[in-house]
C-alpha cells in the first residue's frame, strides 16, 4: 500500500509534519496573526518524539547502541515517551530517571510503555548523587551494553529540529514567519529550529520562554551563571538549573520569564477559548508571547510551538483542587 493512503510501516514514520493552526479568540488584541505549531499531533503527543528518534538512530549509526541494548535517559516525561515508542519498535530496554515534581500521569504512561522509571528528588544539586542526572549516569556505568542519550548535551537533539521542525515552520508560513516563540529546557527545539529559520532569513526573531527559578535568561543577557537565580519552581519542561550544550544562545534573540501561576492559568484558558488541550509549558509559551505583544506590528507573522498534550497534566493544571492548593483559583 502507498504512503499516499496514509499507511505507515510502523508508528515511528508518523512522527513530524504536525499541523499549524491559526489562533482566534486569544489573539484578538494582537496586531498580527499568531499560529500554533501543535506538537501533540505526534504519536507520543509531544515535540520530543522528533529528537528521541533522532538520538536513537544516530546512536545506532555510530555503533553506540547495539541490538538488545538498553537506552537510558533523564527526562521530564516527554522525551521518555518518545524513546519508549522507538524502543518498543526497535526492541531495546528503556530506563528513565525523572524528578519527583513531574506529574503522576507521565510516570504511569512511561511504565505502561514498558520503561523502568526511577523517581528522584527535585530539590538537589545536579551533581548530587540522588539527582536524576547522577542516577542516569550510574545506570549507564553499570551496564556496558547501554546508551545514555543525554538530551541536554547530545547534538542529535537540536539536529532533529534543524532538519524537520525548522523546515516545516518555514514551509507552512510560506517563508513569512517573523517570530518563533517556544519554551526552553534542553534547548534542542529552539536552537535547531531557530538556526534553520535564521539561515533562511536572519531577521527572524527567536524568542525563548523561561521560568522563574531558572538560570537561562540571566546567562543570555549577562554571560553570568548566577546560582542565586536557582530555586524550586513548579512549571514542567521549561527552564534549567544547568547550561545544556544544546542551548545555542547566539540563535536566541530574547528570553522572557513567566510565573508558574500565569503559565497554568493560560494553559487552562487556551483549552476553553481555543480548543487546544495543551501541556503546562504551552501555557507559559503563550503567556510569554502575550507579555511581549507590544513589540509586534501588523506585518509580523508569529509562530508559537506548543510542546505537548494536556492529558499529562489532568492531575495538576487541569485539576481545580490542585490549582486551589497553590492559591491560583
Scanning the structure block, which residue is given the C-alpha cell 536513537?
56
H or E stretch covering 70: strand 70-74
Topology of the domain comprising 48-148: Rossmann fold (3.40.50)
Is the pTM higher than 0.85? yes
Task: Name the band, by pLDDT with cuts 50, 70 and 90, for residue 3.
Answer: low
pLDDT above 90 for 124: no
Give the architecture (CATH level 2) of 3-47+155-325. 3-Layer(aba) Sandwich (3.40)
Of the listed ranges 15-29, 132-146, 157-171, the one predicted with least confidence: 132-146
Interval 77-95: pLDDT, tens: 899 999 999 999 999 999 9
Length reported for the chain: 329
pLDDT above 80 for 4: no
Domain with CATH 3.40.50.1100 in the chain: 3-47+155-325, 48-148
286 with 276: CB under 8 angstroms? no
CA distances from 125 to 41, 227, 240 (A): 35, 11, 12
Per DSSP, the three-state class of 214 is coil
Where does residue 60 fall: left (phi above 0), alpha (psi -120 to 50 degrees), or beta otherwise?
alpha
* Predicted local confidence at residue 237, as pLDDT: 87
H or E stretch covering 217: helix 216-222
CA–CA separation, 295 vs 178, rounded Å? 12
34-38 and 146-148 strand pairing: unpaired
303 with 169: CB under 8 angstroms? yes
To the query of whether residue 48 is one of the catalytic residues in this protein, the response is yes
Q: What is the mean pLDDT of residues 259-282?
A: 98
Task: Name the band, by pLDDT with cuts 50, 70 and 90, for residue 1.
Answer: very low
- Among the listed residues 37, 48, 198, 217, the single catalytic one is 48
What phi, psi does 254 have (nearest 5°)?
-160, 145
Look at residues 245, 151, 259 and name the one whose alpha carbon lies nearest to residue 213: 259
Of the listed ranges 125-134, 244-253, 287-296, 312-321, the one predicted with least confidence: 125-134
CA–CA separation, 286 vs 279, rounded Å? 11
* Predicted local confidence at residue 12, as pLDDT: 97
Scanning the structure block, which residue is given the C-alpha cell 484578538?
28
Of the listed ranges 189-193, 225-229, 258-262, the one predicted with least confidence: 225-229
Task: Name the band, by pLDDT with cuts 50, 70 and 90, for residue 169.
Answer: very high
Share of the chain above pLDDT 70, in %: 99
Q: What is the mean pLDDT of residues 54-78?
A: 95
105 Cβ partners below 8 Å, 6+ apart? 311, 312, 313, 314, 315
260 Cβ partners below 8 Å, 6+ apart? 211, 212, 233, 234, 235, 326
Torsion of CA 143, 146, 151, 153, to 10 degrees: 80
93-99 and 179-183 strand pairing: unpaired
* Predicted local confidence at residue 298, as pLDDT: 98
Mean residue pLDDT of the chain comes to 95
- C-alpha atoms less than 13 angstroms from C-alpha of 217 in its C-beta half-sphere: 20
Amino acid at each position: 500500500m502507498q504512503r499516499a493512503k496514509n499507511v505507515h510501516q510502523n508508528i515511528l514514520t508518523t512522527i513530524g509534519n504536525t499541523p499549524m493552526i491559526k489562533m482566534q479568540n486569544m489573539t484578538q488584541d494582537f496586531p498580527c496573526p499568531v499560529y500554533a505549531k501543535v506538537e501533540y499531533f505526534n504519536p507520543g503527543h509531544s515535540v520530543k518524539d522528533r529528537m528521541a528518534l533522532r538520538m536513537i538512530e544516530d546512536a545506532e549509526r555510530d555503533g553506540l547502541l547495539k541490538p538488545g541494548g538498553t537506552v537510558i535517559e533523564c527526562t521530564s516525561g516527554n522525551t521518555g515517551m518518545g524513546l519508549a515508542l522507538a524502543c518498543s519498535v526497535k526492541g531495546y530496554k528503556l530506563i528513565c530517571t525523572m524528578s519527583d515534581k513531574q506529574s503522576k500521569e507521565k510516570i504511569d504512561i512511561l511504565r505502561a510503555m514498558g520503561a523502568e522509571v526511577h523517581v528522584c528528588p527535585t530539590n538537589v544539586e545536579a551533581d548530587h548523587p540522588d539527582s536524576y542526572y547522577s542516577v542516569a549516569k550510574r545506570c549507564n556505568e553499570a551496564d556496558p551494553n547501554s546508551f545514555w542519550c543525554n538530551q541536554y548535551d547530545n547534538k542529535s537533539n537540536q539536529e532533529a529540529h534543524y532538519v524537520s521542525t525548522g523546515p516545516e515552520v518555514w514551509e507552512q508560513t510560506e517563508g513569512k514567519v517573523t517570530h518563533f516563540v517556544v519554551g526552553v529546557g534542553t534547548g534542542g527545539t529552539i536552537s535547531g529550529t531557530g538556526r534553520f529559520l535564521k539561515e533562511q532569513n536572519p531577521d527572524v526573531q527567536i524568542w525563548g520562554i523561561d521560568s522563574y527559578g531558572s538560570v537561562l535568561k540571566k546567562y543570555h543577557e549577562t554571560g553570568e551563571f548566577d546560582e542565586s537565580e536557582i530555586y524550586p519552581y513548579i512549571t514542567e519542561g521549561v527552564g534549567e538549573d544547568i547550561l545544556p550544550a544544546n542551548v545555542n544562545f547566539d540563535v536566541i534573540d530574547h528570553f522572557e520569564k513567566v510565573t508558574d501561576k500565569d503559565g497554568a492559568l493560560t494553559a487552562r484558558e487556551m483549552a476553553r477559548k481555543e480548543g487546544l488541550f495543551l501541556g503546562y509549558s504551552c501555557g507559559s509559551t503563550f503567556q510569554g508571547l502575550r507579555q511581549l505583544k507590544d513589540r509586534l506590528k501588523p506585518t509580523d507573522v508569529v509562530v508559537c510551538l506548543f510542546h505537548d498534550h494536556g492529558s499529562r497534566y489532568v492531575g495538576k493544571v487541569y485539576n481545580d483542587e490542585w490549582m486551589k492548593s497553590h492559591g491560583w483559583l
